[in-house]
Amino acid sequence: MHILTDISLKPYNTFGINTFARYFTSFSNVNELREILSQTKISDIPPLILGGGSNMLLTKNPEIVLKNEIKGIEKIKEDEQSVFIRIGAGEVWHDFVMHCIDNNWAGVENLSLIPGNAGAAPMQNIGAYGVEIKDVFHSLQAFHLHDKAIVTLYRDDCTFGYRESVFKNKYKDQFVIVSVTLRLYKHPHFNTSYGAIGKELDSMGVKELSIRAVSQAVINIRTSKLPDPKKIGNAGSFFKNPEVAAEKYDQLKKDFPGIIAYPARDQFKLAAGWMIEQCGWKGYRKGDAGVHDRQSLVLVNYGKASGNDIYLLSEEIQKSVWEKFSVRLEREVNII
């Protein structure tokens, strides 16, 4: 184990924000994590646990950053219908999805090309095109930073919500996710009704539906709409799509006939990107902080923007959406 000092975090976050960690190291198993946390100089400092760095906005220099590099993909049991797969938290999520496609394990194909590592998947309850991680989630193992013990949490323990879990509120900064176990399926239940998947499958000329075809359709759509973080710094969708009651939606539809929304249980989920675009933000740029010119839901760093530059821009967007629609936008990205 080697603890580095004053390390730039620019290569470790997809926004490309150039903040610095006072102490930086990585761990590939729980014993290494325990050893790191026992070091006198860092034992009393709350660490920032870093995975793929794809859903965070760094606005300050953290004291200590621990990079989770726990690997491994293991089938732990199966029955006639299902396979239970345990994934190390440090595995790249999209690589894992492709591994599932290759093995004909269904359930995560709609979650193709979501950036980040597997450990963040339940933390964020990642979702796309009608599927969320909670739909296939079985359990996870997590290391309690105070008690130094491994605990197992099941689906109900995680209190999943829309891009929410217990790790973003009640248990925030208390655990390091070590592994995630998903229940995947030998016989797929295709979900192609959300967004443009059906249209994309048609344009691909798909005659026989498969999880590989659905995955490729999702990849095609995401590639056409979202900027590559390797080319333009970003963290994907910056804001959540807000949910409103039916009465509020009816009023909005009366005032704004073109508003885009989807039924969500007993509410309606509004397209935040559409509202942001209606407020004139699409393609906006101030210095190196901006709004993507193809997807208004994505804030971007064109090179040298600071985390505060991006944060202040997000506040301006929230204010303008509230003033126009009386709807509050909530950030999906974690502010550090």
The pLDDT value given to residue 40: 61
Question: Using the 8-state DSSP alphabet, how is residue 109 labeled?
Answer: G
The pLDDT value given to residue 251: 96
The pLDDT value given to residue 101: 97
Count of beta carbons in the 10 Å neighbourhood of residue 65: 25
Return averaged pLDDT per consecutive 10 residues of the chain, 336 residues in all: 90 96 95 87 80 94 95 95 97 97 96 94 92 96 92 96 90 93 95 84 91 96 89 94 95 95 88 96 97 95 96 98 97 93
- The answer to whether the predicted template modeling score (pTM) of the entire model surpasses 0.85 is yes
Q: Active-site residues: which are they?
A: 163, 237, 332
DSSP output for 265-297: TTEEEE-HHHHHHHTT-TT-EETTEEE-SS-TT
DSSP output for 4-46: EEEEE-GGGSTT----EEEEEEEESSHHHHHHHHT-TTTTTSP
* Both tokens assigned to 62: 């953290």
Domain boundaries, the chain: 4-68, 73-185, 233-335
The pLDDT value given to residue 41: 67
* Both tokens assigned to 115: 């950036």
- How far apart, in Å, do the first and last CA atoms of the chain sit? 25
Q: How far, in Å, CA of 307 to CA of 64, rounded?
A: 18
73-185: CATH topology: 3.30.465
The pLDDT value given to residue 195: 66
Q: What SS3 class is residue 47?
A: coil
Give domain 233-335's CATH architecture.
Answer: Alpha-Beta Complex (3.90)
The answer to whether residues 123 and 114 touch, using CB atoms and an 8 Å cutoff, is: no
Give pLDDT tens digits for 157-199: 999 998 899 998 899 889 999 999 999 999 998 988 876 888 9
Q: Which residues contact 162 (CB under 8 A, 6 or more apart)?
A: 125, 127, 240, 243
The pLDDT value given to residue 126: 94
4-68: CATH topology: 3.30.43
Q: How far, in Å, CA of 315 to CA of 331, rounded?
A: 10
Q: How far, in Å, CA of 150 to CA of 175, rounded?
A: 9
